[in-house]
């Protein structure tokens, strides 16, 4: 069975960047093939990975609602559209969920999409899912389980409150999350004692801290894929240590 690693966090915490650097880490470790799933409506994981996306699964779902070409069943058509939406690269493929357009019922299309996504996931060693804030859409569509949930926060009380709510929401939805961790991103110097105490009070598992890294901002400004960061970049080194602990060694 594939290992599923889901990303979550409030907007602006850098979870998509960290998802891309997680994929980079896995590929360097020879852990592949990987399926990257961009489930955020503001999809930009492809930019972090340096991949071009032509179509999304939301568009496939729209098509199945409107009907299928003559001579094709709905099942065959959906499978074809999912394969069409898959962006293939060395060691890692990407699929963007997108969102449906316009009114109407998507129940049957959602059922088909969920079925074929489950089938597709079986072809990969690891699934890395980049999500929007909240986790409801996981229970509605693609997966109801994750081996590891990485909640990305900034070193603020509001960020921690959002992280706690996301953790609590996964439990309310009875999602099968085996382990969950918080990664504190964009930390300047030592993590403030007040934030560390708040993490402990909330019962959150702190995997580690990632320093503010000017190189990430530089790459974003220049439109360069974040996965091309050098190995000695501060954020890359910190994240590699975190990933080694929570994924490779299972701490």
Determine which helix (DSSP H) or strand (DSSP E) holds 165, and give its type and residue range.
Answer: helix 157-172
Going by pLDDT thresholds of 50, 70 and 90, the confidence category of residue 139 is: low
Strand 34-39 and strand 92-96: the pairing is parallel
Nearest CA among 160, 176, 251, 162 for reference residue 207: 251
From CA 125, how far away is CA 93, in angstroms rounded? 12
What's the mean pLDDT in 154-174? 90
- pLDDT value of position 249: 73
Pick the range with the lowest mean pLDDT from 42-46, 55-59, 223-227: 55-59
> Could you tell me the CATH number of the domain that includes residue 76?
3.40.50.300
The mean pLDDT of the chain is: 86
Going by pLDDT thresholds of 50, 70 and 90, the confidence category of residue 111 is: low
From CA 119, how far away is CA 111, in angstroms rounded? 13
- The residue behind tokens 């998509």 is 16
- Whether the pLDDT of residue 234 is over 80: the answer is yes
Nearest CA among 137, 117, 17 for reference residue 60: 117
* Overall number of domains in the chain: 1
Going by pLDDT thresholds of 50, 70 and 90, the confidence category of residue 134 is: low
- pLDDT value of position 108: 54
- Whether the pLDDT of residue 141 is over 50: the answer is no
Q: Which two tokens stand for residue 228?
A: 């091309």
pTM score: 0.90
The predicted-structure confidence for 80-107, as pLDDT tens digits, reads as follows: 888 888 999 999 999 888 765 555 554 5
Peptide bond into 198 cis (omega under 30): no
From CA 177, how far away is CA 45, in angstroms rounded? 23
Q: In terms of DSSP H, where are the helices of 6-156?
A: 15-28, 45-49, 57-66, 74-85, 107-121, 136-140
- pLDDT value of position 250: 63
Q: Which two tokens stand for residue 151?
A: 């909640």
What's the mean pLDDT in 102-128? 71
- pLDDT value of position 101: 54
Does residue 67 or residue 186 have the better pLDDT? 186
- Whether the pLDDT of residue 17 is over 90: the answer is yes
Domain extent at residue 55: 3-248
Beta-bridge mates of residue 180:
149
- pLDDT value of position 26: 97
Nearest CA among 7, 10, 48 for reference residue 154: 10
């Amino acid at each position: 069975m594939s290992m599923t690693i889901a990303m979550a966090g409030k907007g602006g915490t850098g979870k998509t960047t960290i998802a891309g650097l997680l994929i980079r880490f896995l590929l360097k470790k020879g852990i592949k093939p990987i399926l990257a799933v961009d489930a955020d409506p503001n999809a930009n994981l492809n930019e972090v990975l340096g991949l071009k996306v032509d179509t999304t699964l939301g568009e496939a779902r729209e098509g199945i609602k409107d009907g299928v070409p003559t001579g094709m069943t709905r099942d065959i058509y959906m499978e074809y559209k999912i394969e069409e939406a898959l962006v293939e690269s060395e060691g890692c493929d990407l699929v963007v969920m997108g969102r449906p357009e316009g009114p109407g019922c998507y129940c049957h299309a959602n059922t088909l999409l969920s079925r074929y996504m489950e089938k597709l996931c079986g072809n990969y060693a690891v699934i890395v899912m980049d999500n929007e804030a909240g986790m409801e859409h996981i229970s509605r569509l693609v997966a109801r389980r994750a081996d590891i949930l990485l909640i990305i926060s900034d070193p603020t009380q509001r960020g921690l409150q959002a992280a706690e709510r996301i953790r609590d929401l996964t439990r309310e939805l009875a999602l099968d999350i085996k382990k969950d961790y918080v990664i504190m991103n964009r930390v300047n110097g030592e993590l403030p004692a007040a934030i560390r105490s708040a993490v402990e009070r909330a019962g959150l598992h702190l995997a580690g801290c990632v320093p503010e890294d000017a190189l990430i901002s530089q790459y974003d400004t220049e439109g360069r894929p974040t996965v091309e960061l050098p190995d000695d970049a501060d954020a890359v080194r910190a994240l590699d240590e975190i990933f080694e602990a929570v994924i490779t060694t299972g701490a």
